Amino acid sequence: MSVTAPAGFEAAGVAAGLKSTGKPDVAVVVNRGPRKVGAAVFTSNRAKANPIIWSQQVIQDRVVEAVVLNSGGANCFTGAFGFQTTHQTAEKAAELLDISAGDVLVCSTGLIGTGDETFRSRVLAGTEQAIAELSADGGDSAAQAIMTTDTVAKTAVISRDGWTIGGMAKGAGMLAPGLATMLVVITTDADLEALEADTALRAATGRTFDRLDSDGCMSTNDQVTLLANAASGVKPDLADFSAALRELCQELAVKLQGDAEGASHDITIRVTNAATEQDAVEVGRSVARNNLFKAAIFGNDPNWGRVLAAIGTTNAQFDPYDVDVWMNGVRVCTQGGPDRPREDVDLAPRATDVLIDLKVGDAEATILTNDLTHDYVHENSAYSS
């Protein structure tokens, strides 16, 4: 049920003809209250799609009653026509739901630089159709409607003492921190103040989605939204809610990693004993974005030299000649030199664990990434064809 698992939410996903496949491509999520709290984080890419520009204005008062999402077109770099399309989408939803357009977030995903009257008319018609089909069982269809190159819908639900969090996510490529790194809608029937929702969301995304770095490419359309309505009547301890929200975001982030375009290895890079958490993140990300390392993992080659070469480009505090590296539980490098034979490392499984011990402090961080494959290159070379 994903976003409709918490009480007081309805959703739907419909096929409006934006995709040539005929699959669902417009989704609507509605908060029926009693409260209409909203929080969101957006891509930090300076090149922002029209829905991002719109939604950043809408979220200022932290009141959100509905989210309209479409796949099959990013509505980015489409000029004034594109922004008008986004505005009209919000107005259409507002008219049909009898709410303010200023309380409707809009999200789009797909090819950049395309959009015409046909696109606009199909988004508007899809919005109308989805609102007509809204139900408390519509979370799964909504999750399917936001997919692009995704091979599976990505949903998660966590329930605690009388309250629930549900979420749906889309993303299989252009996964790099921004923040955030995909389209995600999260709902909860917990009773939260607006500032509490915003604080919890930023803390959760900062340790989950922001540490998913599949291919180092930041999108123009990334948005993570949290809607809270107090329908459960339960006001949770903020620390308990924040922990549950982070758990749900992590579950969705791992699902995004597992469906990354063309990937054959899901790589978890854990950096330990760093001077600061920032250093640990910088070191982990340097490896996650190193194409030589990613290509080696694709070839099942435990080439630890590429790990050291990658981390040597950072400003993190450590001695490159006193670093240990493990791959899938085997220490292949110690004190900047070889340890166990490479033949001892089995990189055949999809799950690949890399541990980097910097030996200078007690901070740590984990970065999620994938290998670089022929399939990834092929899929992205043919994306707009």
Cα within 13 Å of Cα(219), Cβ side: 32
d(CA 7, CA 361): 45
Q: Which positions ≥6 away from 262 have C-beta within 8 Å?
A: 373, 374, 375, 376, 377, 378, 379
Q: Are 50 and 82 in contact (CB under 8 A)?
A: yes
Q: What would the DSSP string read from start to end of 170-187? A: E-SSS---SS--SEEEEE
Query: 133 vs 10, 58, 99, 103, 357, CA distance in Å?
Result: 9, 25, 17, 20, 53
**Hey, what are 207's tokens?**
């340790």
> What is residue 205's DSSP assignment?
H
> What is residue 57's DSSP assignment?
H
Q: Give catalytic residue positions.
A: 181
d(CA 47, CA 196): 29
Q: Are 105 and 68 in contact (CB under 8 A)?
A: yes
Q: Which of 192-226 are b and which e, b meaning 16 or more Cβ less than 10 Å from the residue's Cβ?
A: bebebbbebbbebbbbbbbbbbbbbebbbbbbbbb
Q: Which residue has the tokens 């389209």?
A: 183
Query: 214 vs 101, 141, 173, 174, CA distance in Å?
Result: 35, 26, 7, 7
Q: Are 344 and 302 in contact (CB under 8 A)?
A: no
Spatial CA neighbour of 220 closest among 249, 188, 178, 248: 178
The burial of 320, by beta-carbon neighbours within 10 Å (0-12 exposed, 13-18 middle, 19 or more buried), is given as exposed
